[in-house]
Structure 1
Amino acid sequence: MLDPALSQWLDAEAQALDLGHCDPQQVLARLAEAQVLRIGIPAGQGGSDGDLGAAVEAVAAVASHSLAAAFVFWGQRAFIEYLLHSPNTALRERLLPDLLSGELAGATGLSNAMKFLSGIEALQVLALPQAGGWYLNGRLHWVTNLRKSGFVVAAAIEHEQGGAPFILAIPGALAGLQRSEDLQLMGLQSSNTAALELQQVEVGHDWLLHEDAKAFLPAVRPAFLGLQCGMAIGLARRALDEVQTHLHSGRSILREPFEEQRQQLEEHVDQLKRGLLEGRFLSQPAALFRLRIALAEAAANAVQLELQASGGKAYLSEYGSGFARRWRESAFVPIVTPSLVQLRAELQRQARDAAA
Structure 2
Amino acid sequence: MLDPAFARWLDAQAEALDQGQCDPQAVLGQLASAQVLRAGIDPTLGGSGGTVADAIEAVAQVASHSLAAAFVFWGQRAFIEYLLQSPNVGLRERLLPSLLSGELAGATGLSNAMKFLSGIEALQVKASPQAAGWTLDGRLYWVTNLRKGGFVVAAAIDEEGASPFVLAIPDNAAGLTRSDDLQLMGLQSSNTAALGFDKVAVSRDWLLHENAKQFLPAVRPAFLGLQCGMAIGLSRRSLSEVEAHLQGARSFLAETLNVLNERLENTVRELKQGVLDGRFLAQPAALFKLRILLAETAADAVQLELQASGGKAYLTAFGAGFARRWRESAFVPIVTPSLVQLRAELQRQASAA
Residue 4 of structure 2 is matched in structure 1 by: 4
Residue 153 of structure 1 is matched in structure 2 by: 153
Residue 173 of structure 2 is matched in structure 1 by: 174
In 1, the alpha carbon distance for the partners of 2:52 and 2:282 equals 17
Residue 55 of structure 1 is matched in structure 2 by: 55
In 2, the alpha carbon distance for the partners of 1:257 and 1:66 equals 24
In 2, the alpha carbon distance for the partners of 1:145 and 1:173 equals 15
In 2, the alpha carbon distance for the partners of 1:218 and 1:248 equals 45
Structure 1 residue 248 displacement after superposition: 3.2
Amino acid at match of 2:237: R
- Mapping for residues 224-239 of structure 1, pairs under 5 Å: 224-239=223-238
Residue 289 of structure 2 is matched in structure 1 by: 290
Three-state SS of the structure 2 residue aligned to 1:154 is strand
Three-state SS of the structure 1 residue aligned to 2:17 is helix
Three-state SS of the structure 1 residue aligned to 2:238 is helix
- Mapping for residues 192-271 of structure 1, pairs under 5 Å: 192-248=191-247, 250=249, 252-271=251-270
Asked if residue 317 in structure 1 is aligned to residue 316 in structure 2, the reply is yes
In 2, the alpha carbon distance for the partners of 1:251 and 1:223 equals 41
In 2, the alpha carbon distance for the partners of 1:245 and 1:225 equals 31
Q: Give % identity.
A: 75
Three-state SS of the structure 2 residue aligned to 1:334 is coil
In 1, the alpha carbon distance for the partners of 2:199 and 2:274 equals 42
Please tell me whether the aligned partners of residues 53 and 273 of structure 1 are also in contact (alpha carbons under 8 angstroms). Answer: yes
Structure 1 residue 269 displacement after superposition: 0.2
Structure 1 residue 246 displacement after superposition: 1.1
Residue 23 of structure 1 is matched in structure 2 by: 23
- Gap regions ≥5 residues in structure 2: none
Structure 1-normalised TM-score? 0.98
Amino acid at match of 1:344: R
Please tell me whether the aligned partners of residues 21 and 190 of structure 1 are also in contact (alpha carbons under 8 angstroms). Answer: yes
Amino acid at match of 2:236: R
Three-state SS of the structure 1 residue aligned to 2:146 is coil
In 1, the alpha carbon distance for the partners of 2:83 and 2:154 equals 10
Which segment drifts farther, 91-100 or 249-258? 249-258
Residue 100 of structure 1 is matched in structure 2 by: 100
Residue 117 of structure 1 is matched in structure 2 by: 117
Please tell me whether the aligned partners of residues 251 and 309 of structure 1 are also in contact (alpha carbons under 8 angstroms). Answer: no
After superposition, the C-alpha distances for 1:52-106 in whole angstroms (9 at most, x for unaligned) are 1110000000000000000000000000000001000000000000000000000
Asked if residue 87 in structure 1 is aligned to residue 87 in structure 2, the reply is yes
In 2, the alpha carbon distance for the partners of 1:178 and 1:14 equals 29
Structure 1 residue 23 displacement after superposition: 0.1
Please tell me whether the aligned partners of residues 31 and 37 of structure 1 are also in contact (alpha carbons under 8 angstroms). Answer: yes
Structure 1 residue 252 displacement after superposition: 1.6
Three-state SS of the structure 2 residue aligned to 1:2 is coil
When the two structures are aligned, how many residues end up with a matched partner? Answer: 353
Structure 1 residue 251 displacement after superposition: 6.0
In 1, the alpha carbon distance for the partners of 2:351 and 2:42 equals 41
In 2, the alpha carbon distance for the partners of 1:252 and 1:75 equals 40
In 2, the alpha carbon distance for the partners of 1:219 and 1:249 equals 48
In 2, the alpha carbon distance for the partners of 1:251 and 1:151 equals 52
Amino acid at match of 2:234: L
Three-state SS of the structure 1 residue aligned to 2:320 is helix
Asked if residue 136 in structure 1 is aligned to residue 136 in structure 2, the reply is yes
Amino acid at match of 2:90: A
Amino acid at match of 1:45: L
Amino acid at match of 1:270: R
Structure 1 residue 301 displacement after superposition: 0.2
Residue 330 of structure 1 is matched in structure 2 by: 329
After superposition, the C-alpha distances for 1:268-324 in whole angstroms (9 at most, x for unaligned) are 000001111111100010000000000000000000000000000000000000000
In 2, the alpha carbon distance for the partners of 1:251 and 1:131 equals 73
In 2, the alpha carbon distance for the partners of 1:162 and 1:310 equals 59
State the 4+ residue runs in structure 1 displaced beyond 3 angstroms. 248-251
Asked if residue 184 in structure 1 is aligned to residue 183 in structure 2, the reply is yes
Amino acid at match of 1:125: V
Three-state SS of the structure 1 residue aligned to 2:333 is helix
In 2, the alpha carbon distance for the partners of 1:5 and 1:222 equals 31
Three-state SS of the structure 2 residue aligned to 1:288 is helix
In 2, the alpha carbon distance for the partners of 1:242 and 1:162 equals 55
In 2, the alpha carbon distance for the partners of 1:39 and 1:224 equals 15
